[in-house]
Structure 1
Amino acid sequence: MSCLSCQTSKETVDSIIINASVYTVNSNFDKAEAFAIKEGKFVDVGTNAEIQEKYTSETIIDAKDQTVVPGLIDAHCHFLGMGFNQQSVNLVGTKSFDEVVQRVVEFQKEKNLNYIVGRGWDQNDWDIKEFPNKAKLDSLFPNTPISLTRIDGHAILCNQAALGLGKVTVNSKIDGGEVVIENGKLSGVLIDNAENLVMNYWPKSSRQDVVNALLDAQKVCFDYGLTTVDDAGLSPESIQIIDSLQQVGDLKIRIYAMVSASKENLEYYLNKGITKTDRLNVRSFKYYADGALGSRGAMLRAPYSDKPGHFGLLVTDLETFNDAAQRIANSEFQMNTHAIGDSANHAVLQTYSKVLNGKSNRRWRVEHAQVISPEDFKYYNDIIPSIQPTHATSDMYWAEDRLGAERVKGAYAYKQLLNAYGKVALGTDFPVEQVSPFLTFYAAVARQDLEQYPDGGYQMENALTREETLKGMTIWAAYSNFEENEKGSIEVGKFADFIILDTDIMTVDAHQIPNIKVVKTFVDGKEQ
């Protein structure tokens, strides 16, 4: 018998990756060297020898010992919003209100628009840590409406031309929002629901504007190794555009779409039912319980330590919230609620527990879960904490001022939340924070900013391990989307979504993590 007849013929596959340092993120957190891909899915994972003995392909990628991890998932972001930000004034990192105005002036010189929007200012980063005033914008832009959104999205600064669109006066009132008055006059700052007094009259984006924003956002995300994003609040119209772009192949990124909460949207999707394709999953509603801590809109159980008598705001009244929760509980949909303050978290957890009583595996989420009372952690045994580690390192400079030394111990308590549920879904909340998932990873494990402050890390008892962090950005995030059987790890049968990194994220010195670069991003086994 000839030797040739002893050999089994190799199976032809679409591509093979060899010489890789693969973190599979399977249930054993196994490592591998190689894998084979066919029809967009992993068909085998193993050693170089095992894969090369069994498979052949015209496309063999030599990873040259570089690190390979599953495609990263951002469990809470504003994908479409970030895309629109590419077309507006970037105010992130401004160190004074004068710098904000300067950027608006430079932007308008270049663009010459009829309406100006911007985002990213944060008065906590300025020497004068007070909300800005519209006077300077009024003098420079008397006829061009301007809306400048705070970094967290929970406050806007409008000039008089913008306020005029909604006929806002010192007497304007709205539930769940505040029109900020200074010395008896409009300051131009609108908090939470008060933003709608102007933005409901703002010109609507065209379909092409939305398309451009989505494609811009996709490019940014692929550059950072994100292959799935959970967009925390989309309109039915935006979801339809996303679906159409995905169907024709222009939008390749996978999107877990949380439907923006409204009576009409709830009605529409409860009647329509879940929408699920390989790239789009519409099975959740996004509600807001309160505002943000930075703008003192987060709802607290005791007054703000730096503003006596002020408790924050409930953005959705409890009757509306409880009614919606009951209706969603009676469907197959998931409910995902923004809750920052300890009072808001308490209210949400109480409602969830009541309406979900006797129902299993519903995977309802609290988005942010930022300030938790000690006695409320136990409620997270059946509720997924969807958290954003960079919030801790952004807020640590002033969080104790807002909350006081005792209450801040229950803030950004990621390890405690992990211990309560057993999993955490990790995201960035971009564009509130930067898009980079490596900043998420660094903040989770080192609990420091890029200047390595504070020495030794911030409230390190709540740091996560690297393994927990990678799981939170892959398999646990997939689980929070009901997608753990199709993505989140490099395993046979799952989508071939993976990335090649220039550095081993699991072993490199922690302070080098923010500098890690994505060499290549693959979706369905195809390089993007």
Structure 2
Amino acid sequence: MKRIQSMIPVFLITACMITYSTSCTTGRKEADLILTDGVVYTVDPQFTTAEAIAVKDRRIIDTGTTEEITKRYSAPRVVDLQGAFVYPGWIDAHCHFFGYGMNLNSADLVGTRSVEEIITILQTHHGKQGGAWITGRGWDQNDWEVMEFPDRTMLDEHFPDIPVLLRRIDGHAAWVNTKALELAGVTPETKVDGGSVLLKDGLPSGILIDNAIDLVDRQVPPPSREEIVQALHQAETNCFRVGLTSVNDAGLPASTIRLIDSLYRAGDLKIRINAWLSATAENFTEYVEKGPRQNDYLTVNTLKLFADGALGSRGARMIEPYTDDPGNSGLFVTPGEVLENQCRKAYEHGFIVATHCIGDAANRRMLQIYGRILGGDNDRRWRIEHAQVIHPDDFELFGRYRITPSVQPTHATSDMYWAEQRLGPERMEGAYAYRRLLDENGWLADGSDFPVEDINPLYGFYAATVRKDHAGVPGGGFMPEQALTREEALRAMTIWAARAAFEEHLKGSIEKGKLADLVITDKDLMTAPDEELFRIPVKATYSGGELVYEAGE
């Protein structure tokens, strides 16, 4: 009998070891969060689905069926998804997060249909906000009955003593009044490299194109630190509401990056940001020459350059003149030799280069510069931002030099009403050609360019796959042969967007070891009717396993 009693503790110890040295009563590993009974699109290489996810220390530790995960793990928080659909946190591959936040305090002119409507909005806005300047953004003359640039006349009539600066929807043109021109010292003789001061009757008309905007913009008083932080928090809240957990902010000064970094260090910002560097001397010294940096929240590994302007303001550089403006071929906003020198510095220090290219001439110039530096097959992941109009002879350069097309599908459905009038039918064959770009490179990244377009990534998902506006126009889709599949569109806003920034080891798919950034919806993006895609609301958003947005809360 004594011998049998002495064996009992040994038996119990052995049983505990068999159950992974955890509690002898449960035998389960500890997690912080378990999500069960959902449809989980992992967006792994096989595009597999799961039912449940286990999260610990901000990272995914396992996926599987509900039965598998609940048998393996216990957690203080267990969420029954009740059949809801889960995706990797959505990533905007090209936007202006900081600018969007700052614009929230300016007059919103998106969707306006006339100068008179804008004047009314400005009067209401200034009556509430006050201030020494009136600023706004979002007007688009292509939405008006008369599709022509306005002039300063109406602004002068209603705001003779207050300077006014109103950026066009694309940010590449601005409409200002006489007071603003006077403060900036703009005269009929003013010349700007990479920009234009438009004249009317021999005087500045009030329209500034591309680099000429800076003449007035630098006169606007800078916001306080408190105002900037408040704007960033509101922008973050808005992003989480639509399922964005990461953004690529396309061009920032060193001072803004330092501020963002300080907020992360203080635990005061949660959205993940890839902060692209504007091509300033300070950024080259402080960041480029020290090499890329990356942590869970902030990545600095990309240099943002500009080759040309925008199509809507006829600043995009074309090989041949615009069809609707035969004397104008657009602008190269940065000299070619400067761009090539900046690219070589970026290459030397291991940075990605992301260059804004809209017109076919701008795309050709940058593809050739990239080609001279990259030399052939490589994994540098240099990018063409927008890749909006490509000459047929130049598509193959994307594949030859492994250049990432970074596209914004809502640009196609925003521009489709007037693009052919501007470009002509022949050039349209190489415009908004996302299918062809994907086929050349094998993958692409998808963003919105917000605030140029709406912040909601499902608008881009809908535009990429359906190629219609929200009214279902045109019936057969705009250039439908260039549409992406739903799987491709989801990859483009998750794993491919992460890959474009060398972040695929951190995020972009629901796989073990990656950050638990998750988006939940009640409807399935893969099967919902076309007309419902852009209306699907986000039910919840998680950042690193933390619930940062829940509908109704």
Q: What TM bracket, shorter-length normalisation?
A: over 0.9
Give the whole-Å Cα distance in 2 for the aligned partners of 1:230 and 1:324: 20
Give the whole-Å Cα distance in 2 for the aligned partners of 1:359 and 1:454: 39
Match of 2:424 in 1: 404
Which amino acid is the alignment partner of residue 362 of structure 1? R
Of the three residues 432, 457, 478, the one matched with 2:452 is: 432
Match of 1:447 in 2: 467
- Check whether the contact 1:210–1:238 (CA below 8 A) recurs between aligned residues: no
Question: Structure 1: which 5+ residue stretches go unaligned?
Answer: none
Match of 1:111 in 2: 129
Pairing of 1:59-78 with structure 2 (within 5 A): 59-78=77-96
Give the whole-Å Cα distance in 1 for the aligned partners of 2:226 and 2:332: 35
Match of 1:252 in 2: 270
Which amino acid is the alignment partner of residue 273 of structure 1? G
1:289 paired to 2:307 = yes
CA deviation profile, 1:159-191 (whole Å, cap 9, x unmatched): 111111211011111111010111212211100
Match of 2:7 in 1: none
Pairing of 1:344-423 with structure 2 (within 5 A): 344-357=362-375, 360-381=378-399, 382-423=402-443
Match of 2:232 in 1: 214
CA deviation profile, 1:119-175 (whole Å, cap 9, x unmatched): 000000000111011111112211211100000000001111111121101111111
Query: What is the Cα deviation at residue 261 of structure 1?
Result: 1.5
Query: What is the Cα deviation at residue 275 of structure 1?
Result: 2.3
Give secondary structure in 1 for the equivalent of 2:274.
strand
- Check whether the contact 1:36–1:51 (CA below 8 A) recurs between aligned residues: yes
Give secondary structure in 1 for the equivalent of 2:429.
helix
Which amino acid is the alignment partner of residue 239 of structure 2? C
Give the whole-Å Cα distance in 1 for the aligned partners of 2:304 and 2:115: 32
Match of 1:509 in 2: 529
TM-score by length of 1: 0.98
Q: Percent identity?
A: 48
Which amino acid is the alignment partner of residue 384 of structure 1? T
Pairing of 1:79-94 with structure 2 (within 5 A): 79-94=97-112
Q: Which stretch of the first structure deviates more once superposed, 206-215 or 163-172?
A: 206-215
1:169 paired to 2:192 = no
1:46 paired to 2:64 = yes
Pairing of 1:81-160 with structure 2 (within 5 A): 81-160=99-178
Question: Structure 2: which 5+ residue stretches go unaligned?
Answer: 1-10, 21-26, 549-553
Give secondary structure in 2 for the equivalent of 1:412.
coil
Give the whole-Å Cα distance in 2 for the aligned partners of 1:263 and 1:462: 40
CA deviation profile, 1:224-260 (whole Å, cap 9, x unmatched): 0000000001111011111111111111000011111
- Check whether the contact 1:165–1:202 (CA below 8 A) recurs between aligned residues: no
Provide the aligned length of Structure 1 versus Structure 2.
528
- Check whether the contact 2:289–2:349 (CA below 8 A) recurs between aligned residues: no
Query: What is the Cα deviation at residue 359 of structure 1?
Result: 7.0
Query: What is the Cα deviation at residue 502 of structure 1?
Result: 2.0
Which amino acid is the alignment partner of residue 31 of structure 2? V
Q: Which stretch of the first structure deviates more once superposed, 323-332 or 298-307?
A: 323-332
- Check whether the contact 1:446–1:457 (CA below 8 A) recurs between aligned residues: yes
Which amino acid is the alignment partner of residue 77 of structure 1? C
Give the whole-Å Cα distance in 1 for the aligned partners of 2:97 and 2:522: 25
Query: What is the Cα deviation at residue 204 of structure 1?
Result: 1.8
1:273 paired to 2:307 = no
Q: Which has the larger radius of gyration?
A: 2
1:11 paired to 2:29 = yes
Match of 2:507 in 1: 487
Query: What is the Cα deviation at residue 358 of structure 1?
Result: 5.5
Give secondary structure in 2 for the equivalent of 1:37.
strand
Give secondary structure in 1 for the equivalent of 2:414.
helix
Which amino acid is the alignment partner of residue 109 of structure 2? L
Give secondary structure in 2 for the equivalent of 1:43.
strand
- Check whether the contact 1:160–1:188 (CA below 8 A) recurs between aligned residues: yes
1:467 paired to 2:452 = no
Query: What is the Cα deviation at residue 267 of structure 1?
Result: 3.2
Give the whole-Å Cα distance in 1 for the aligned partners of 2:286 and 2:245: 28
Which amino acid is the alignment partner of residue 300 of structure 1? M
Q: Which stretch of the first structure deviates more once superposed, 238-247 or 199-208?
A: 199-208
Give the whole-Å Cα distance in 2 for the aligned partners of 1:269 and 1:458: 42
- Check whether the contact 2:254–2:282 (CA below 8 A) recurs between aligned residues: no
Give secondary structure in 1 for the equivalent of 2:246.
strand
Give the whole-Å Cα distance in 2 for the aligned partners of 1:283 and 1:165: 37
- Check whether the contact 2:164–2:179 (CA below 8 A) recurs between aligned residues: yes
Give secondary structure in 2 for the equivalent of 1:229.
strand
CA deviation profile, 1:255-278 (whole Å, cap 9, x unmatched): 011111123422332233222121
Give the whole-Å Cα distance in 2 for the aligned partners of 1:160 and 1:224: 39
CA deviation profile, 1:344-368 (whole Å, cap 9, x unmatched): 0000000000011167210000000
Which amino acid is the alignment partner of residue 401 of structure 1? Q
Which amino acid is the alignment partner of residue 223 of structure 1? R
- Check whether the contact 1:71–1:497 (CA below 8 A) recurs between aligned residues: yes
Which amino acid is the alignment partner of residue 365 of structure 2? A
Q: Which stretch of the first structure deviates more once superposed, 228-237 or 178-187?
A: 178-187
